Structure 1
Amino acid sequence: MELNNKELKNITNLARLDLEEKKEEKFFSDIACVVGYFEDLKNVDVSDVNPVTGGTYEINVFRNDNDMVRVETKEGAIIRSFPDNKEGLLKTPHIFDK
């Protein structure tokens, strides 16, 4: 893909770049090099390269989700440890001032 002056001016406009003529020429040259680099990448033979979808071949060392850790508690002991039980709700001392 060959970039023309009109397309490059549009790029500078979209990027809101206000370039002097000397810097504009340098910018155009640099952009042309970058586009040329991508053109070269299009021609690289990757037919023998395996596709990579992740960055590692490590395996998960965590436990399975179905291996639940359960702590058995006695409901009555917990309810008795509260200072007051009102209408099935556990009442604690006030934390905030009234």
Structure 2
Amino acid sequence: MSTDLATLRKLAHLSRLELDETKEQKMLGELNKILNWVEQLRELDTTNVEPLVHLSHEINVLRPDEARNTVSHQEGLRNAPRKDSDYFRVPKVLD
């Protein structure tokens, strides 16, 4: 399977690419290589091959979620640009 220069120009127009003549020839060669590779893949017999859903059979091992305070209330407010005793002060959003 291969494509011609007119098809490449149409694809370039649809994808909003501007190619000069030297880049057109290079892109046409690369596109034809890709299409030939896909054609080779089509020739493979995949009747007994299950579809690949995940790349590996490993399962993520995550630590259990445990609620805990790692930063105290005072430490959290220490670097606040504006604070009011126990709370962050933020600009008014609603009227």
In the superposition, the TM-score normalised over structure 1's length comes to 0.49
Output the CA distance in 2 between the equivalents of 1:59 and 1:24.
Answer: 45
Output the CA distance in 1 between the equivalents of 2:50 and 2:3.
Answer: 33
Output the CA distance in 2 between the equivalents of 1:47 and 1:25.
Answer: 37
Q: CA deviation at 1:30?
A: 1.3
Residue equivalent to 2:23: 23
TM-align CA RMSD: 3.6
Number of aligned residue pairs: give it. Answer: 72
Output the CA distance in 1 between the equivalents of 2:56 and 2:26.
Answer: 40
What's the secondary structure of 2:35's corresponding residue?
Answer: helix
Residue equivalent to 2:44: 44
Output the CA distance in 1 between the equivalents of 2:12 and 2:59.
Answer: 47
Output the CA distance in 1 between the equivalents of 2:27 and 2:60.
Answer: 47
Structure 1 residues not aligned, in runs of 5+: 64-68, 70-92
- Percent of aligned pairs with the same amino acid: 25
Alignment of 1:48-59 (within 5 A): 48-59=48-59
- The amino acid of 1:42's aligned partner reads R
In the superposition, the TM-score normalised over structure 2's length comes to 0.50
What's the secondary structure of 2:6's corresponding residue?
Answer: helix
- The amino acid of 1:34's aligned partner reads I
Q: CA deviation at 1:34?
A: 0.9
- Distance change >3 Å, CA 59–CA 34, structure 1 → 2: closer
Output the CA distance in 1 between the equivalents of 2:33 and 2:58.
Answer: 38
- Structure showing greater relative contact order (alpha-carbon pairs closer than 8 Å, 6 or more residues apart): 2
- Distance change >3 Å, CA 59–CA 24, structure 1 → 2: closer
> What whole-Å deviation, never above 9, does each CA across 1:8-56 have from its counterpart, x for those lacking one?
111222242231x233212211111111111111111122323322233
